[in-house]
């Protein structure tokens, strides 16, 4: 769920700090508390994030193509309306 590497790094630092003391129970409690906190945060891994980012990019590309196709079809069916849109976009500074 959470980056295992980061969790292990934090755990090792805690282990180093507590290694010489008799506080092994504290270490276990801290690890359990951290794991519980991370689980409640509903975090995603970097890999999951990257996959979703790629899906979003592809979706935006498809949307752009569909908008272009729709505009062409609309211009064919409603030529007067298409002229008005071109004029209004030119007035607004859009191309």
* Pair 83, 52 in one domain: yes
Same domain (yes/no): 88, 51: yes
pLDDT digits 0-9 by tens, 42-62? 888 899 999 999 999 999 999
Same domain, 17 and 52: no
Output the pLDDT for position 86: 67
Do residue 62 and residue 86 come from a single domain?
Answer: yes
The answer to whether 27 and 15 have CB atoms below 8 angstroms apart is: yes
Confirm whether pTM is higher than 0.75. Answer: no
Question: Do 83 and 51 share a structural domain?
Answer: yes
- Total domains in the chain come to 2
Are 41 and 35 in contact by the 8 Å Cβ rule? The answer is no
Domain extent at residue 53 = 46-92
Determine the average pLDDT of the residues in 2-25.
Answer: 74
Cα–Cα distance, 46 to 52 (Å, whole number): 10
Same domain, 24 and 55: no
Give me the torsion for CA of 16, 20, 21, 22, rounded to 10°.
110
For residues 28 and 60, state if they share a domain. no
**Looking at the predicted structure, is the pLDDT value of residue 3 above 90?**
no
* Percent of the chain scoring above 70 in pLDDT: 80
Residues 50 and 88 in one domain: yes
Least confident of 24-28, 33-37, 52-56, 84-88: 84-88
């Amino acid at each position: 769920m959470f980056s295992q590497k980061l969790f292990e790094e934090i755990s090792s630092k805690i282990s180093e700090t507590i290694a010489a003391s008799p506080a092994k129970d504290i270490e276990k409690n801290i690890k359990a508390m951290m794991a519980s906190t991370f689980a409640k945060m509903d975090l995603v891994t970097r890999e999951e994030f990257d996959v979703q980012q790629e899906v979003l990019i592809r979706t935006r590309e498809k949307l752009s193509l569909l908008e272009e196709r729709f505009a062409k079809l609309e211009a064919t069916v409603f030529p007067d309306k298409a002229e008005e849109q071109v004029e209004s976009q030119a007035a607004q500074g859009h191309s």
